[in-house]
Structure 1
Amino acid sequence: MGNPTVTPLAEQWHDGGFLVSQANGHRSVDQAVLAAGAKVYAGTIVGKITASGKYVQCVSTASDGSQVPAGILFGTKDATLADKPCVVVRRDCEVNTTELIWDASFNAGAITTGLATLAGLGIIGR
């Protein structure tokens, strides 16, 4: 067998690119609000702030409820200056774990625990 005759496809980072499969319709996702404060990229693990119900990047050292993985941000959002509507993958799907973005506060053990938490929501890592 010789050299490939076609250039290999290099998929660029895009909204939902981490998804392997999801439920029919919109069952896997919810409309949500991303709290102001940062630009957050597609595939980022998010937590839900208990008091406001808004989502932020999940940080293991937080103490406002957002330290618990609650889903994965579907698309990149720049909420640097204001809250932004967003879509959060919350259930019934398979994801490519190599394309998920975890905050630096998560070490390998915490990521394993976080993946188990997501599995409890029906988000299965592959």
Structure 2
Amino acid sequence: MTTLVEGPHPGGFLVWEAFRDYTRETITIASGTLEPGTVLGKITASGNYAAHDPDATDGTETAVAVLWGKADASAGEVPAVALVRGPAIVNRHDLVFGGTPSEAEITAAHAALLDVGIRVR
């Protein structure tokens, strides 16, 4: 028998949000193939978004948003929807981090998301 594996769904990380027209925006993903729930940072120079990277120095070291659905920017910039402000609550177990961040880096990302009104539970 064939085993099927279901991946993350768009918005599957969301527990609660006040008003979707307020908390979500269409953004531009600069690079990468990203899954729903990917924690994003904002590139200071361009204003575009990319996967949060605690070791970066381009603005993506600070978590500021969560990607709503899958985005494939491997061939260049693409538009995408992201949860960019709260009030909102997200499930910590459904968030996606690039690389292998330490617990301290994940905790710092959660705190940075709280700064924009996105509570991680």
Q: Give the structure-1-normalised TM-score.
A: 0.86
For the pair 1:120 / 2:102, whether they are aligned, the reply is no
For the pair 1:64 / 2:58, whether they are aligned, the reply is yes
C-alpha RMSD of the superposition: 1.6
Note the residue ranges of structure 2 that are not aligned, 5 or more in a row.
1-5
The answer on whether the counterparts of 2:39 and 2:65 sit within 8 Å (CA) in structure 1 is yes
* Equivalent position to 2:75, from 78, 81, 85: 81
Return the offset for 1:33: 0.3
Where does residue 26 of structure 2 map in the other structure? 31
Give SS of 2:65's match.
strand
Q: Give the structure-2-normalised TM-score.
A: 0.90
- After TM superposition, the runs of 4+ consecutive aligned structure 1 residues lying more than 6 A away are none
Q: Which amino acid aligns with 1:81?
A: A
The answer on whether the counterparts of 1:59 and 1:105 sit within 8 Å (CA) in structure 2 is no
Return the offset for 1:66: 1.0
* Equivalent position to 2:106, from 108, 111, 118: 111
Note the residue ranges of structure 1 that are not aligned, 5 or more in a row.
1-10
Identical columns (%): 34
Structure 1 residues 117 and 80, CA gap change in structure 2 (3 angstroms): same
Q: For residues 34 and 8 of structure 2, what CA distance do their matches in structure 1 show?
A: 13
